[in-house]
Structure 1
């Protein structure tokens, strides 16, 4: 079990496991409409069993080294999370993503948590490329990609249908040398 502090506001990054099903469901219920504006994540989980099933699928992905979920807790309360939606160690590529309930938005939690994931992906696991995909209309998500120093690779026009609307999906990425250089610059400016 780990709990990684995300700053001095009491925010922590922790594993999100099947035994968190009740807490996870309560969190989804608090943020269902907000979370579901642009993504389907958590939309089918309406009871403890289905919430546990989603968490179990990601626990199995973690065991298979092909993805994982990590919760963001603020003041001891689950308020969102970040994930490796896909993780291909052999190819050195992965896709990351996030979700938050509305009360947690605007605090920099996702950016801080994503720094932990990207440091681990590049530093520990030797990933070469990390991708971020977001609906063009999801400006908060696009802003996180920018804050992480990602580059917009392109737009997949009307590629994803969600809630009866076809969305353009922007693909953003950061490569290992770019991440290392940005982190080195940030370290130098901190000193």
Structure 2
């Protein structure tokens, strides 16, 4: 099985439909913390909905259009990373992340995102890696800065969440910036 160490007690590994019960429990534990930022928290509310959401990423991976990984800390699913967009034709991808509050402050997201970006650029030939976040999400913007990304602008009223449309900050880096 694939598992990439992030710290002594943390690892990154595929998050697949057979993890539905565990993913649903993770969503329940972290819902209040994640709900202001992530729309999937609204739709993953039991094992069946978790399985459907996880299957959508398994299907994306089969089409080479996205990927999904979990972050396990001490054997407990505590967050994840994904390629929300993975477009091999335009050679552009978008990395997304989340982490439960008890696992924050250890650099796990930055480390996991570095692995994701390195794989996308070096192994898959992506030339542009995007990071999108709500303007109020200071933790997310701090990770983008640590990754060497540049804030490119704001897409106004572009992100559906909690029944409204919210602005989205776009951060990005280019392959030659990453490999420099």
Shared fold per TM-score greater than 0.5:
yes
- The offset of 1:163, in angstroms, is 2.5
**How do residues 39-118 of structure 1 correspond to structure 2 at under 5 angstroms?**
39-118=38-117
Q: How many residues align?
A: 180
* Equivalent position of 1:35 in the other structure: 34
* Equivalent position of 1:6 in the other structure: 6
* Equivalent position of 2:173 in the other structure: 174
Q: Which whole-Å CA distance do the structure 2 matches of 1:31 and 1:135 have between them?
A: 18
TM-score between the two structures when normalised by the length of structure 2:
0.96
Q: Which whole-Å CA distance do the structure 2 matches of 1:161 and 1:12 have between them?
A: 31
1:35–1:41 Cα contact (<8 Å) kept: no
- The offset of 1:101, in angstroms, is 1.4
- The offset of 1:93, in angstroms, is 0.3
Residue segments in structure 2 that go unaligned for 5+ positions in a row: none
Of residues 83-92 and 32-41 in structure 1, the stretch that sits farther from structure 2 once superposed is 32-41
Q: Which whole-Å CA distance do the structure 1 matches of 2:145 and 2:131 have between them?
A: 10
- The offset of 1:166, in angstroms, is 4.3
1:135–1:170 Cα contact (<8 Å) kept: yes
The alignment yields a C-alpha RMSD, in angstroms, of 1.2
* Equivalent position of 1:154 in the other structure: 153
- DSSP-derived class of the 2:43 partner: coil
Q: 1:177 to 1:138 in 2, by over 3 A?
A: same
Residue segments in structure 1 that go unaligned for 5+ positions in a row: 182-191
Q: Which whole-Å CA distance do the structure 1 matches of 2:164 and 2:63 have between them?
A: 34
- The offset of 1:159, in angstroms, is 2.7
TM-score between the two structures when normalised by the length of structure 1:
0.90
- The offset of 1:164, in angstroms, is 4.7
Q: Which whole-Å CA distance do the structure 2 matches of 1:106 and 1:41 have between them?
A: 23
Q: Which whole-Å CA distance do the structure 1 matches of 2:142 and 2:5 have between them?
A: 22
Q: 1:161 to 1:67 in 2, by over 3 A?
A: closer
- The offset of 1:162, in angstroms, is 2.4
- DSSP-derived class of the 2:120 partner: helix
